[in-house]
Structure 1
Amino acid sequence: MGGNGMLITSGYNFEGYDIVNYLGHESVQVVLGTGIFSSFDASISDLLGTRSSAYEDKLNLAEKAGKEKLMEKAGNNGGNAIIGLDIDYTTFTNDVIAVIVGGTIVKVERKMPEKEVKKVCSMEYNTTVPIRILESLIVYQISTDKMFLRLYGKNYSDSKVKGLEVKIKIETIFNDIVEIPEMTFADICESEEKEIVTEYNNLKLENNVFKLIKSVSVQMMKYVTEKNEIVEIAADQYKKIDLTQEQLTDIRKIYGNDAVNRAYKSDSGWVCYCGMENENKEHKCHLCKREVQVEALRPISMNDSEGTFCLYDHIDYIENLKNAKEIYDYLEKLNCTDVYFNGIILAEIKKLVDGERMYGSMKRSAIIKLKELYEKE
């Protein structure tokens, strides 16, 4: 890129831009007096294996001046870019060289994106069904002026899914609800980890809705198993996730893509990260098969108390960090107001961070220290 934002290239296009107008070829000349650095002197210096830096500096300055003059001419002609840049040299006498800089002046515009994409978490879940829709990917294809929807989910059952019939509810930033009462998906891929992805389906909405989307809820009405069994689902069995999109995204970074909240103690047992109610004697969730340290769980009201720190609310995420430095940075961002947390726990982890400069990653030591300090509290 040249001065004043002018684009310039020896090629004939710019990535990410369209040429909308060709304004003609132009050239400028810069005359250079070489003085004592004659062509004879330059040839002698080459034979001796040295280079005349002063001579080269003059040529570089002339090229730069030529480009600046050409860009100025391009701007005066209404252009904002130059393609096909070419630099030539001609000698008038032994001591005078002309640098000729030429190119085609054009006007360019940044390309419009071919599509816009928005991925949002589904804000409802149902623990009575072994299939769960987790996220919706909405694509607005500008060239066709159409929107398309793809669903991502989790299959907790042993039987693969062949088809889905769903109801879509879209909430806008104005809190308006747009409903699509029925949409079917018949081309569904399932990974070894039991994650499912649907094909893209045409989303018949007014295009101005795309930029207004705040959240999406997907309710399965029916699904078809690989044995061609059709399972119908009652709409009143769905529960709303009482979090914002941002809060749910953060929860899922820690506990997994199917999490709807932290695990917590309930009146009759405990509730898993996936939202499934389990009995106290069980340490593995009925639905998602997670193994949970039930004795470490607390009631939801305690989990949500402002300023408190519960290690087991964060340990799954911490286990995936690389070193003590990442653990310290994560803990610091929690903005916990607990005195013991700030005065003791953070200080001890900081010591391990300092030790990593000499001993390498101390992730395991940091996790052990966290557990020791948390149990002392």
Structure 2
Amino acid sequence: MAESIIVTTGASIEGYSIHEYLGFISSQAILGSNFISGIAANVADVARKDTAKLEQCREDAENQLIKTAKKKGANAIIGMSMTYAPFEAGSFGIIVSGTAVKVNKIANITDNVHKEIYVSNYYTRLVPRPVKVVLDGNSQSINMKLVCYNYNHEDIQALRCDVEYTNLYDERLVIKNVDFVFSENINLSVIESDFIQSKVSPNDLLLLKDAKITLNKYATPRGVYACNDVPLNVTLSSRRLQALKEKRGIDAVEKYKTDGMIWTCNCGHVNEAGSEECIVCGRKQKDIMTKTAFNYEEMIDRMREKEYVVEIKDVLMQYIKEIDSGVRLELLEIMESGLQYEKTRGNMKETVIEKVEKVFEDASSKD
């Protein structure tokens, strides 16, 4: 038989969902002339005459049908049927037909699944800030809700937005004009929408890694407000973003930084140096200033430019005197361990850098 493809006489395939119908297809295979004597011969007569030749004819017809399906981009055929028929000049053949389709394997989800994805873009002015998408479901359907930080403490009734998901293959799924309704919110600072049905399939859910939200408009008892601003993208990795939110609050998107003229708040808003608190979220500058003067992110960026642990260690040694003595030994142990493992397990660059980042994040969380 031709290259493997799912073939069934039914209208569906257990364990798979039909993604796209590609149309009706058919093929035929004809036995040589004079295979049957007389145009009135029936199938029973033929079957008794030469079963082996009939079987070969059937396989030829089915193989041709599969080739036709694959040319259309199908990976399955449903509703396949087979008909034995006499042709002209005493020849006999088989006609095979079906519908070419594209199918996706359904994820083996027997229990409810739950996934939360932090939103990786944000607005710097006083509009409802989407901070997290929550997805719940099973093998049949996925529902979702939106969590927002409400700086103005307004009674948000509904919010219309575009939702963009990115999966592990960096493929994007964009869902336009999604309406989230907020019917019950006692806490006006962090508001959660009602669950709505999502267009994300169970298979897609397992692969999602990122979500971006673009606000179109939102409704309050005072009126409907359009949002034409372009959101900014979060620059932190998903792991570092999660760590920041756990430490500084669910609306946090940036680490505090200053150049003496301006300072960037955890909410992402850039404030004048003379401002003691952020004009968007109200955080006080003195409360979010890091107690560690050492800028480890600059060191991490330089480490990422290197290829091997021995080079990464060289970068560390250039900064070692600036690093708090409480973490120096731990960092050196990470380097030595990385050097040893790299001899037997291959490149350890990403693992070592990840451990170095975690050391500083843990130290920062204790400040």
> Which residue matches 1:264?
257
- Residue number in structure 1 paired with 2:92: none
One-letter amino acid of the structure 2 residue matched with residue 182 of structure 1: N
| One-letter identity of the residue aligned with 1:237 | V
Q: 1 CA distance for matches of 2:213 and 2:120?
A: 8
Secondary structure of 1:304's partner?
helix
State the SS of the aligned residue for 1:189: coil
Q: What residue identity is the alignment partner of 1:243? A: L
Once the two structures are superposed, residues 161-186 of structure 1 have per-residue CA deviations (whole angstroms, 9 ceiling, x without a partner) of 11111110000111011000111022
8 Å CA contact 2:254–2:267 kept in 1: the answer is yes
Secondary structure at the counterpart of residue 257 of structure 1: coil
**Corresponding residue SS for 1:130:** coil
Find the residue that maps to 2:129 and give its secondary structure: strand
- Residue by residue over 1:115-137, the C-alpha shift from the partner in whole angstroms, topping out at 9 and shown as x without a partner, is 11110100110112431010111
**Matched-pair contact (CA < 8 Å) for 1:131–1:155:** yes
Q: Shift of the alpha carbon at 1:189?
A: 3.4
Match of 2:75 in 1: none
CA contact (8 A) 2:128 2:148 kept: yes
In structure 1, stretches of 5+ residues that fail to align are 1-110, 309-334, 348-369
Read off the aligned partner of 1:282 and give its amino acid letter.
S
Q: 1:177 aligns with which of 157, 172, 180?
A: 172
Preserved contact between residue 111 and residue 138 of structure 2 (Cα < 8 Å): yes
Q: Please report the TM-score for the alignment, with normalisation by the length of structure 2.
A: 0.51
Distance of 2:289 and 2:208 partners within structure 1: 38
Query: Structure 2: which 5+ runs fail to align?
Result: 1-107, 302-315, 330-362
d(CA) in 2 for partners of 1:263, 1:295: 7
User: CA separation in 1, counterparts of 2:199 and 2:150?
Assistant: 27
The residue type equivalent to 1:254 in the other structure is: K
1:126 aligns with 2:123: yes
SS, match of residue 190 in structure 1: coil
Residue 288 of structure 1 is matched in structure 2 by 281
Per the alignment, residue 232 of structure 2 pairs with 239
| CA displacement, residues 292-329 of structure 1 (integer Å, 9 cap, x when unaligned) | 1299579x994622279xxxxxxxxxxxxxxxxxxxxx
Q: What CA distance in whole angstroms lies between the structure 1 residues aligned with 2:166 and 2:188?
A: 30
Q: Secondary structure at the match of 1:306?
A: helix
Shift, 1:342, TM fit: 4.8
CA distance in 1, matches of 2:271, 2:261: 8
Summarize the Cα distance change of 1:256–1:338 in structure 2 as closer, same or farther, 3 Å threshold.
farther
Deviation at 1:271, TM superposition (A): 1.1
Partner of 1:151: 146
- TM-superposed deviation, 1:207: 3.2
AA of the residue aligned to 2:267? C
Change (3 A) 1:123 1:306: same
- Are the structure 2 counterparts of residues 171 and 223 from structure 1 closer, same or farther at C-alpha, using a change threshold of 3 Å? same
CA contact (8 A) 1:270 1:294 kept: no
Identity among equivalent pairs (%): 16
SS at match of 2:279: coil
Q: Identify the residue that residue 251 of structure 1 maps to in structure 2.
A: 244
Q: Secondary structure at the match of 1:220?
A: strand
After superposition, the Cα gap between the structure-2 partners of 1:288 and 1:190, relative to the gap in structure 1 and judged at 3 Å, is: farther
| Contact kept in structure 2, 1:264 and 1:303, CA below 8 Å | no
Instruction: Go from structure 1 to structure 2 and tell me whether the alpha carbon gap of 1:217 and 1:307 turns closer, same or farther (over 3 Å shift).
Output: closer
CA distance, structure 2, for counterparts of residue 112 and residue 170 of structure 1:
21
**Aligned-residue RMSD, C-alpha:** 3.5
Q: Using structure 1 for the length normalisation, give the TM-score.
A: 0.49
Change (3 A) 1:175 1:278: same
Q: Deviations over 1:326-358 (max 9, x none)?
A: xxxxxxxxx9974464536889xxxxxxxxxxx
Matches within 5 A, 1:309-320: none
After TM superposition, list the pairs within 5 Å mapping 1:1-377 onto structure 2. Answer: 113-142=110-139, 145-192=140-187, 194-227=189-222, 229-234=223-228, 236-266=229-259, 268-293=261-286, 302=295, 304-306=297-299, 338-339=320-321, 341-343=323-325
Deviations 1:22-63 (A, max 9, x none): xxxxxxxxxxxxxxxxxxxxxxxxxxxxxxxxxxxxxxxxxx
**Aligned residues between the structures:** 210
Check conservation: 2:256, 2:289, Cα contact below 8 A. no
Q: Deviations over 1:172-208 (max 9, x none)?
A: 1110110001110223433436110011011123432
Q: Which whole-Å CA distance do the structure 1 matches of 2:231 and 2:186 have between them?
A: 25
Q: CA deviation at 1:245?
A: 1.5
Measure how far apart 1:254 and its partner are.
Answer: 1.6
Cα distance change, pair 301–239 in 1 and its aligned pair in 2 (3 A): farther
- Partner Cα separation in structure 1 for residue 237 and residue 323 of structure 2: 27
Q: What is the rounded CA distance, in whole Å, between the counterparts of 1:266 and 1:189 in structure 2?
A: 43
Would the alpha carbon gap of residues 155 and 171 (structure 1) be closer, same or farther in structure 2, given more than 3 Å must change?
same
